Structure 1
Amino acid sequence: METITEVLKLCDRHADRLQWAMAELQSHLPFSAEKLSCLTNVEIAILDQFSTRFGKLHDLMGAKLFPVILELTKEPGDLRAFIDKLYRLEKIGAIPSADDWLLMREIRNAFSHDYPDDPDLQAEILNKAFELAAQLLEVLEKVSVFIAPYIHKP
């Protein structure tokens, strides 16, 4: 099993690459069907990097980081359902909002569907994703600050 430090390191790698992709695409915001049709192959590859890193960071945090936080904080109770884990993380102050996390998951899932015949929908999803990517990065930062006392005990 990976240690909390290894999981955080992986999260940071995804976050760094997500931030880079966001910075590279900033000049195209807000996206529109017209703007998407004018992207170069390199810009499309950067957009792919953005969606991939968003998904990977979200998945890694949900699958590995959040359970470790609950373990570190020794949260009581049988939290089998992921939603219960999210609400407990919100209650103890590890994440700002369980509901926002679920919205990020919806966008992450929307990336797994391609809408080649609906560029307006693609643009809408990407615009929302950029907004939520900033929140995702903030959640990682908040979680890192939250768990620091637990992993740096004397």
Structure 2
Amino acid sequence: MNNSVAILRLQDAWRECERNIYHLCHALTLLAPILPMTGKGFEYLTDAQVQSLDQFILRFTKLQDAMGSRLFPALLQYLQEPYEERPMLDKLNRLEKLRYLHNAEAWQNIHNTRNKFAHDYPDDWEKNAALINLACEAAEDMYNILTGIEEKLKTDQPALKLGKSLPVDYPKQLSL
């Protein structure tokens, strides 16, 4: 595969991550007054808060999927690393070795948090609130991974243009 196709795949994956992080930030801004979430707060969410929470969960899930299934493989392909057929853990370890990820295990924790959203606990407000708080921390980790990748690419590949820069004020929105 030629390098221009690899660049286009990386740019397309990056733009998808940008869109999701933008909407995730927006949802977190709306949720900020009720974070960190409590069981009682979760039980009495307003309709608007439920919509913001649903948006956060959707964008969290989409961002995690886009990073794991599109961005990381596209980045490895762009870097001409032969990891297409390798398991995800091998890809993560390679990205860590190349210093695009600080910790491969942190990504697995993010993935596990995402999987916890697949389960519904309709009468366990405390558990739901704890999952939201955990997801807010994991969302910040995803943001930090993206900014780390962005900075490393700017340093190592200055001619590469990914797209827009990530929101600068994102970590402030997650201060739990």
Answer yes or no: same fold by TM over 0.5. yes
Q: What is the aligned counterpart of 1:40 among 1, 22, 46?
A: 46
Q: What is the aligned counterpart of 1:152 among 126, 148, 159?
A: 159
Once the two structures are superposed, the pairs formed by residues 66-77 of structure 1 within 5 Å of their partners are 66-76=72-82
- In 1, the alpha carbon distance for the partners of 2:84 and 2:33 equals 46
Whether the 8 Å contact between 1:69 and 1:147 is mirrored in structure 2 is: no
Between Structure 1 and Structure 2, how many residues are aligned? 153
Whether the 8 Å contact between 2:14 and 2:71 is mirrored in structure 1 is: yes
| Aligned Cα root-mean-square deviation (Å) | 1.8
Whether the 8 Å contact between 1:31 and 1:127 is mirrored in structure 2 is: yes
Structure 1 spans left out of the alignment, 5+ residues:
none
Q: Which residue of 1 aligns with 2:26?
A: 20
Q: Which digits, 9 at most, give the CA deviation of each residue in 1:49-75, with x for residues without a partner?
A: 001101101100110110111112223
Whether the 8 Å contact between 2:73 and 2:84 is mirrored in structure 1 is: no
The structure in which a higher percent of residues are helix is 1
Q: Which digits, 9 at most, give the CA deviation of each residue in 1:28-55, with x for residues without a partner?
A: 1111110011211111010010011011
Whether the 8 Å contact between 1:33 and 1:122 is mirrored in structure 2 is: yes
Q: Which residue of 2 aligns with 1:114?
A: 120
Q: Which digits, 9 at most, give the CA deviation of each residue in 1:6-25, with x for residues without a partner?
A: 21111100000001111111
Whether the 8 Å contact between 1:86 and 1:98 is mirrored in structure 2 is: yes
TM-score normalised to the size of structure 2?
0.80
Once the two structures are superposed, the pairs formed by residues 125-140 of structure 1 within 5 Å of their partners are 125-140=131-146
Task: Report % sequence identity.
Answer: 33
Misfit runs of 4+, over 4 Å: 76-79
- In 2, the alpha carbon distance for the partners of 1:34 and 1:129 equals 18
- In 1, the alpha carbon distance for the partners of 2:110 and 2:140 equals 11
Once the two structures are superposed, the pairs formed by residues 92-111 of structure 1 within 5 Å of their partners are 92-111=98-117
- In 1, the alpha carbon distance for the partners of 2:50 and 2:79 equals 41
- In 1, the alpha carbon distance for the partners of 2:86 and 2:158 equals 24
Cα distance change on mapping 1:32 and 1:3 into 2, 3 Å = same
Q: What is the aligned counterpart of 2:97 among 91, 95, 100?
A: 91
Whether the 8 Å contact between 1:32 and 1:124 is mirrored in structure 2 is: yes
Deviation at 1:79, TM superposition (A): 5.7
Q: Which amino acid aligns with 2:120?
A: D
Deviation at 1:77, TM superposition (A): 6.3
- In 2, the alpha carbon distance for the partners of 1:44 and 1:21 equals 10
Whether the 8 Å contact between 1:94 and 1:143 is mirrored in structure 2 is: yes
